[in-house]
Structure 1
Amino acid sequence: MEITLEQLNEKIDNLSRLTLISSKTVLDFEETILFTGLSKGHLYRLTSNRQIPYFKKNRKLYFKKSELEEWMLERRIPTEEEIQSQATTYLATHKI
């Protein structure tokens, strides 16, 4: 698989932007797409439906990186080990 010069330049640009994003606390719309991996349309849908925390100033959307991290991690799925531990604890405390 050959990579074109244009694709290579795009990848270098994305890496540069990701490096910049790591030092910022507030991200613009395009930076948020890179940070989250969401598509442009999906991110617009999430903001439109107020399903993701964001700020709006002068018709531009901004996102607090720490709030994005919390939002991305809000629905943790427990491991099998954690479920087994909870089941064991439940059975030990509720004599069935």
Structure 2
Amino acid sequence: MESNLIIQKLTQLEKLIIGTNKQIFTVDDVVNYTGFSKSYVYKLVHKNILPYSKVNNRTLFFEKSEIDSFLLQNKSKSISQIEKEAITYINSKK
């Protein structure tokens, strides 16, 4: 039982390591890279939220850089970043 879990975790790590070196992802690569479920990836594609390319009207491909941009698009600023921006803004208005 425990050895099956170890093998499963090693397989996941192997897929993740191999996937991070690729620049073009398949749906399975996106699932492994992001941790999203396959159905959620298809939902994002269906709603044109996640950028993709479709080859021969069948196979979906994704650019790693676009996946990264998608994952980081709603970035929240830290308090120190907000304070620095406020100081810069105040100093520019003097």
TM-score bucket of the superposed structures, by smaller chain: 0.7 to 0.9
Corresponding residue of 2:78: 79
Change (3 A) 1:14 1:89: same
Q: CA deviation at 1:53?
A: 0.9
SS across alignment from 2:61? strand
Corresponding residue of 1:30: 28
List alignment gaps of at least 5 residues for structure 1. none
> Following TM superposition, where does structure 1 have runs of at least 4 consecutive aligned residues deviating by more than 4 angstroms?
92-95
Residue range with higher mean Cα deviation, 56-65 or 28-37:
56-65
Q: CA deviation at 1:94?
A: 4.7
Deviation digits for residues 19-45 of structure 1 (CA, Å, limit 9, x no counterpart): 211221111111110101111121111
Q: CA deviation at 1:92?
A: 4.2
Corresponding residue of 1:49: 47
1:61-76 pair list within 5 angstroms: 61-76=60-75
Amino acid of the residue matched to residue 66 of structure 1?
Answer: S
TM-score by length of 1: 0.81
Distance 1:31 1:86 in 2: 38
Matched positions, count: 93
SS across alignment from 1:82? helix
SS across alignment from 2:40? helix
Of the two, which has the highest radius of gyration?
Answer: 1
Corresponding residue of 1:13: 11
CA RMSD of aligned residues (A): 1.8
List alignment gaps of at least 5 residues for structure 2. none
